[in-house]
Chains A and B, each alone.
Chain A
Amino acid sequence: MVVLKGRVWKFGDDVDTDVIIPAKYLRSVDKTVWPKHVLEGLDPEFSSKIKPGDIIVAGKNFGCGSSREQAALAIKWAGAAAVVAESFARIFFRNAINNGLPLIEAKGISKAVGEGDVIEIDLDSGGVKTKNGALRSAPLPPFLQEILKSGGLVNYYKAHNK
């Protein structure tokens, strides 16, 4: 059973990939650049506030917009353990799983938690524990959990020697 416990950073609805990581930083394939600018479109100081193991909580349609995978990577490499949202944009969803960033779609999460709360996520069952009670979500299908547990698609391929 994989359980993640972390402090919450809260964002609103429709957080788009341009505010997660503006296009001007995409030119580099240098791993250190993207986390430094994560979510700077909404909070220019965010990269210095987030600590390893923290959890991002957001409203509906998180990650909408561009297919830039750097959005998922910026969040992961900045140290976030997971993102919990009311819903996710589909390309972001795939990018996150493919890079081993856990996502939980939990209806009611934005009302149930506040900034700085500590929440607990059970990745196997999709359950989220908050100080205002537990939320349930549909767990990921088994083959996606497998990719996530491998740490993303690259490791998955290496492990399966495809």
Chain B
Amino acid sequence: MGMTISEKILARASGNEAVHPGEYVVCRIDLAMIHDLTGPLTLKVLKEVGYERPWDADKVVIILDHQVPANSTVTAQLHKDLREYAKKYSIKNYHEVGRQGVCHQILAEQYVKPGMLVVGADSHTCTLGALGAFATGIGSTEMASVYLTGEMWFRVPQTIRCDLKNKLRDGVSSKDVILNIIGTLGVDGGLYCAAEFTGGGVGSLSVDSRLTMCNMAIEMGGKTGIINPDKRTLEYTGVKEAPLKSDPDAEYYRTLEVDLATLEPQVAMPHSVDNVKPICEAGNVIADQVFIGSCTNGRLEDLEAAAKILSGRKVSPNTRLIVIPASQRIYLEAEERGYLRTFIQAGGVVCNPNCGPCLGGHMGILADGENCISTSNRNFIGRMGSTAAKVYLASPQTAAATAIEGRLADPRKYMRG
């Protein structure tokens, strides 16, 4: 019987010829990432254990991304602790303010290659599965254990296959695809599973679009989202050798089919990511704030899609638009291409790369009773600030159209042929 790409990576990393779902294996870790919100706790645990040096300084990445630049003395101290740790142990993969970005985007741009086993002290580490890696989020103490040993135990997951057929229409994006899938499977529909996206529909999507889909695998409980590497993956990662891929006779726990050609823009209504409706059924939703950014949708392709819609138009006087590119590289490219100018001329705010208001840290926290249409990944109660605010999740296209109209809007009417 064949294996899935996830099983092959876990087999390789555990030194086994084959592994099977449900089996417990101990794997060597290829890359381990911490950031400024979960990393300090890892360092504290290492201190308690009494041994702080990472097992391999070259396999460790430290990124300041949640609150950058520091927004309080408390944050400033956490940044300082991480900075000093990196210096003390000669960790060259430390991303200082000015060379930062949302951690998963930095990992995609600079570190992750197909076939790697990646762990990060952040739940959205599953994003990196889009590059054909097995990537998953862990807690701070577990990360301390990885730092000490370079190893971690895994229960080999079952795999759910999401088979994407045909191509998306204009104004519909991979965010709509993943929202639709989570709406179908539910927030625990992929619990402990790998979600593997397959089919011709995936081939038609850019790497940016694929990262968006894998990013949200965790929102249905998944251990990772994952995509078999193809020509685009190899080009993006600069890898030449043939990577690991799922066998044609690999066994899947469940298969779900999605027809991209008939998909409409989707919205996850408050307060659950699986509370998904097509935009035509979402009703009249006033938008006090629109946020375009995050590890889900802060990439160049997302900014391009939003800028195309906002070009020559104005943000509604009743709405605040906040745009945050996901990395310094994207920030610069968006500047060169004129997207940032478009957002500013439209009446929006552009902030420096970091997580921003996605998790209620800073740069656009919501007040009681406010609505935010956001391209991020979670609409839990209190996620972006007040517990009496509401978050609606949508694509960058939908967010841009919404900013113009001041209420939740279908982007397809803004498509220029």
B359 at the interface (CB under 8 A from A): yes
B404 at the interface (CB under 8 A from A): no
A27 vs B71: C-alpha distance in the bound complex, in angstroms?
11
Q: Which of B48, B148, B221, B387 contacts A61 (CB 8 A)?
A: B221
User: Restricting to B106-164, which residues have a CB under 8 Å from any CB of A?
Assistant: 120-123, 125, 137-142, 144-145, 148-149, 153
B265 / chain A contacts, CB cutoff of 8 Å:
none
Q: Which of A18, A66, A90, A95 contacts B141 (CB 8 A)?
A: A95
A29 vs B39: C-alpha distance in the bound complex, in angstroms?
11
Q: Which of A24, A26, A70, A91 contacts B123 (CB 8 A)?
A: A91
Contacts across chains A and B counted by CB atoms under 8 Å: 122
Which of A46-54, A111-119, A128-136, A150-158 lies at the interface with chain B? A150-158
- With A24-B360, A67-B138 in contact, is A153–B145 under 8 Å at CB? yes
Q: Which of B48, B72, B74 contacts A154 (CB 8 A)?
A: B48
Most chain A beta-carbon neighbours within 10 Å: one of B37, B122, B359, B380: B380
A109 vs B118: C-alpha distance in the bound complex, in angstroms?
35
Which of B10-18, B86-94, B187-195 lies at the interface with chain A? B187-195
Find the A residue at minimum CB distance from B378: A65
Please tell me if the beta carbons of A61 and B382 are within 8 angstroms of each other in the complex. Answer: no
Q: How many residues of chain B have a CB within 8 Å of chain A?
A: 48
Please tell me if the beta carbons of B383 and A18 are within 8 angstroms of each other in the complex. Answer: yes
User: Restricting to A101-152, which residues have a CB under 8 Å from any CB of B?
Assistant: 141, 143, 152
Q: Which of A29, A41, A94, A152 contacts B382 (CB 8 A)?
A: A41
- With A23-B360, A61-B191 in contact, is A69–B382 under 8 Å at CB? no
Find the B residue at minimum CB distance from A141: B24
User: Restricting to B40-84, which residues have a CB under 8 Å from any CB of A?
Assistant: 40-41, 44-45, 48-50, 67, 72, 74-75, 78
- With A66-B123, A68-B38, A157-B49 in contact, is A60–B188 under 8 Å at CB? yes
Please tell me if the beta carbons of B221 and A94 are within 8 angstroms of each other in the complex. Answer: no
A70 vs B141: C-alpha distance in the bound complex, in angstroms?
10
A153 vs B383: C-alpha distance in the bound complex, in angstroms?
29
Please tell me if the beta carbons of A90 and B192 are within 8 angstroms of each other in the complex. Answer: yes
Q: How far is the CB of A150 from chain B (nearest CB, A)?
A: 12
A70 / chain B contacts, CB cutoff of 8 Å:
41
Q: How far is the CB of A72 from chain B (nearest CB, A)?
A: 7
Q: How far is the CB of A81 from chain B (nearest CB, A)?
A: 20
Most chain B beta-carbon neighbours within 10 Å: one of A66, A72, A143, A153: A66
Q: How far is the CB of B396 from chain A (nearest CB, A)?
A: 22
- With A61-B221, A90-B192, A98-B145 in contact, is A67–B139 under 8 Å at CB? yes
- Residue-wise, chain B 209-233 has the 8 Å CB interface mask toward A (1 for contact) of 0000000001001010000000000
Please tell me if the beta carbons of B74 and A27 are within 8 angstroms of each other in the complex. Answer: yes
A58 at the interface (CB under 8 A from B): no
Please tell me if the beta carbons of B153 and A154 are within 8 angstroms of each other in the complex. Answer: no
- With A89-B191, A154-B48 in contact, is A27–B78 under 8 Å at CB? yes
Please tell me if the beta carbons of A98 and B142 are within 8 angstroms of each other in the complex. Answer: yes
Please tell me if the beta carbons of A18 and B380 are within 8 angstroms of each other in the complex. Answer: yes
Please tell me if the beta carbons of B142 and A153 are within 8 angstroms of each other in the complex. Answer: yes
Interface residues of B (CB under 8 A from A): 24, 37-38, 40-41, 44-45, 48-50, 67, 72, 74-75, 78, 120-123, 125, 137-142, 144-145, 148-149, 153, 187-188, 191-192, 218, 221, 223, 272, 359-361, 378, 380-383, 387
**Closest CB pairs A-B (n = 9):** A69-B139, A95-B139, A61-B188, A67-B123, A18-B380, A67-B137, A23-B359, A98-B141, A27-B74
**Other A-B pairs, 18, CB within 8 Å; known A61-B188, A67-B121, A157-B145:** A18-B380, A18-B382, A23-B383, A27-B37, A61-B221, A67-B38, A67-B120, A67-B125, A69-B41, A69-B141, A90-B191, A90-B192, A91-B138, A95-B142, A153-B142, A154-B141, A162-B148, A162-B149
